[in-house]
Structure 1
Amino acid sequence: MLKRRLSLLAIAAVTAMLATGAQAAEIIRLATTTSTYNSGLLDYLLPKFEQDHPYQIQVIPVGTGKALRLGRDGDVDLVLTHAPAAEKAFVDAGYGVEPHGVMYNDFVIVGPSDDPAGIKGGDDAVKALATLADKNATFVSRGDDSGTNKKENHLWKAAGVTPDFSNYKAAGQGMGAVLKMTSELQGYTLTDRGTWLAMKDNLDLSILVEGDTKLFNPYQVILVNPERYKNLNTEGARALAQWLISDEGQTLIDAFRLKGKVLFHASAGEAVDPSKAVGAN
Structure 2
Amino acid sequence: GYGSKRHAVMYNDFVLVGPDASIPNIQISENINTALQQIAEHQLTFISRGDNSGTHKKEQTLWKTVEIKPEGLWYREVGQGMGKVLQMAAELDAYTLTDRGTWLAYQDKLPLAILNRKDPHLHNPYHIIAVNPLRHNTINHEGADALISWITSTAGQSLIGSFAISDTLLFIPSANAREMARQSMDP
User: Counterpart amino acid of 1:143?
Assistant: G
TM-score w.r.t. the length of structure 1 is 0.62
- Report the structure, 1 or 2, having the larger helix content: 1
Alignment partner, residue 144 of structure 2 = 237
Residues 1:141 and 2:67 are matched in the alignment: no
Amino-acid identity (%): 47
Distance across 2 between alignment mates of 1:129 and 1:119: 12
Structure ID, larger Rg = 1
Secondary structure at the aligned position of 1:107 is classed as: strand
Alignment partner, residue 128 of structure 2 = 221
Secondary structure at the aligned position of 1:209 is classed as: coil
Find the partner of 1:156 among 51, 63, 68.
63
Cα RMSD, aligned residues only: 2.1
Residues 1:192 and 2:99 are matched in the alignment: yes
TM-score w.r.t. the length of structure 2 is 0.90
Distance across 1 between alignment mates of 2:41 and 2:139: 49
Q: Do the aligned partners of 1:213 and 1:277 also contact (CA within 8 Å) in 2?
A: no
Query: Within 5 A, what are the aligned runs for 1:111-130?
Result: 111-116=18-23, 118-120=26-28, 122-130=29-37
Distance across 1 between alignment mates of 2:3 and 2:123: 23
Runs of 4+ in 1 over 3 A off after TM superposition: 275-281
Distance across 2 between alignment mates of 1:235 and 1:205: 45
| Structure 1 gap segments, 5+ residues each | 1-93
Alignment partner, residue 8 of structure 1 = none
Distance across 2 between alignment mates of 1:264 and 1:272: 16
Q: Do the aligned partners of 1:264 and 1:280 also contact (CA within 8 Å) in 2?
A: no
Alignment partner, residue 168 of structure 2 = 261
Classify 1:191/1:272 alpha carbon distance in 2 versus 1 (closer, same or farther; 3 Å): farther
Classify 1:112/1:143 alpha carbon distance in 2 versus 1 (closer, same or farther; 3 Å): same
The Cα offsets for residues 221-247 of structure 1, whole Å up to 9 and x where unpaired, read as 111222222332222122112211011
Classify 1:182/1:252 alpha carbon distance in 2 versus 1 (closer, same or farther; 3 Å): same
Structure ranking higher on relative contact order (CA contacts 8 Å, 6+ apart): 2
What is the count of residue pairs matched by the alignment? 186
Classify 1:278/1:123 alpha carbon distance in 2 versus 1 (closer, same or farther; 3 Å): farther
The Cα offsets for residues 68-119 of structure 1, whole Å up to 9 and x where unpaired, read as xxxxxxxxxxxxxxxxxxxxxxxxxx12222100011111110011242834
Find the partner of 2:15 among 100, 108, 112.
108
Alignment partner, residue 156 of structure 2 = 249
Distance across 2 between alignment mates of 1:149 and 1:272: 32
